[in-house]
């Protein structure tokens, strides 16, 4: 693992500059070395100030988002796609401006429940948009990763295999997968095998419980996931993600379907998650050594 990150929604609903700055402070205070910001739409925040705070705290920034319906690059509507491409281009530049290293999430489609089947034309519109975005990102020094999500949050890329096919269709070798245990638990036949299938196309990894709560209190077999990451020699970043009604506001709750308060004490949550992930990572590495010892 390169750096261990934490999603800012653990700390703030992200609506204000103050909220984001507090999230940076809290993340660093808890020993995280990366913070994930969501929906960092241009113009809303003092980007330079955020960049300076992150640098001062030796925190790297990742930005993730999902497209709004009116900017869905997997649409068959030319104007919607154009809007989406412009939005992606703007966000990439904002990521650059904030000193961010990576843009991830549902960049290839709307974030939400679709009411139509995916289409071949939409797929092609989306791969072209991502290819163009990746080119912009390259010039900005930003990495593009595509989050594979469950069926209720996109109709286009629900599995690792689909994601690999999509990336192949972009014809870019600098676009990678962004996998997430919460989503894999719903969609993958075999999550550990999916990680091995992704191999060196895996660019970013999200750790979350099955019900998005406190790690280790749900059903996800994290040992299997971490051993698969060890199997492929994963050496990129890992970020902890958890949502509770206690922090996110109604709009965000609605977007993510967070109807319950699965936790209230985010300090305890973050401290535990760091220990949990670091220990699992270490145990997986040791398991490989034990396996091979003679």
Q: Please report, as ranges, the residues that interact with a second copy according to CB under 8 A.
A: 112-118, 150-153, 155-156, 158-162, 164-165, 185-191, 193-194, 197, 210-211, 213-219, 221, 223, 227, 231, 250, 253-254, 257-260, 262, 272, 275-276, 279-280, 282-283, 286-288, 290-294
Taking the complex as a whole, the smallest distance from the CB of residue 9 to a second copy amounts, in Å, to 16
Min separation Cβ 51 and a second copy, Å: 34
Residue with tokens 């912009």: 136
Q: Cβ closer to a second copy: 6 or 277? A: 277
Look up 187 and say whether it is catalytic. no
**263: Cβ–Cβ under 8 A, 6 or more apart, which residues?**
213, 214, 242, 244, 246, 269
In the complex, the smallest distance separating the C-beta of residue 64 from a second copy, rounded to whole angstroms, is: 19
| Nearest distance, CB of residue 14 and a second copy, angstroms | 18
For a second copy, which is the closer residue by CB, 43 or 292? 292
* Residue number, 13 or 231, with CB nearest to a second copy: 231
Is the CB of 176 or the CB of 227 nearer to a second copy?
227
Q: Assess contact for 27 and 266: CB atoms under 8 A.
A: no
* Structure tokens, 37: 């910001």
Of the pair 62, 149, the CB lying nearest a second copy is at 149
Q: Which two tokens stand for residue 171?
A: 């014809």
147 catalytically annotated: yes
The catalytically annotated residue of 147, 153, 188, 209 is: 147
Residue 274: C-alpha distances to residues 126, 141, 293 (Å): 35, 28, 29
Q: How far is the CB of 13 from a second copy (least distance, A)?
A: 14
Active-site residues, by number, are: 147, 241
């Amino acid at each position: 693992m390169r750096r261990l990150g934490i999603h800012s929604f653990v700390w703030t609903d992200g609506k204000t500059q103050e909220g984001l700055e507090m999230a940076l402070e809290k993340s660093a205070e808890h020993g995280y070395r990366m913070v994930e910001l969501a929906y960092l739409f241009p113009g809303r925040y003092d980007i330079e100030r955020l960049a300076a705070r992150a640098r001062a705290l030796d925190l790297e920034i990742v930005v993730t988002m999902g497209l709004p319906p009116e900017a869905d690059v997997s649409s068959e509507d030319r104007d919607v796609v154009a809007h989406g491409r412009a939005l992606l281009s703007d966000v990439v530049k904002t990521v650059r401006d904030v000193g961010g290293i990576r843009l991830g999430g549902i960049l290839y489609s709307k974030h939400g429940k679709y009411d139509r089947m995916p289409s071949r034309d939409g797929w092609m519109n989306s791969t072209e948009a991502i290819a163009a975005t990746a080119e912009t990102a390259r010039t900005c020094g930003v990495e593009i990763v595509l989050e594979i999500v469950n069926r209720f949050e996109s109709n286009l890329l629900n599995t690792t295999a689909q994601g690999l096919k999509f990336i192949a269709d972009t014809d870019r070798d600098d676009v990678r997968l962004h996998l997430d245990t919460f989503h894999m638990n719903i969609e993958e036949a075999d999550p550990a095998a999916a990680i091995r299938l992704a191999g060196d196309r895996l660019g970013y990894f999200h750790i979350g419980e099955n019900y998005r709560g406190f790690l280790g209190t749900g059903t996800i077999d994290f040992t299997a996931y971490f051993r698969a990451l060890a199997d492929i020699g994963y050496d990129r970043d890992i970020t902890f993600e958890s949502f509770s009604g206690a922090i996110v506001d109604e709009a965000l709750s609605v977007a993510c379907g967070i109807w319950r308060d699965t936790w209230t004490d985010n300090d305890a949550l973050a401290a535990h998650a760091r220990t949990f992930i670091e220990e699992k990572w270490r145990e997986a590495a040791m398991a490989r050594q034990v396996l091979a010892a003679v």
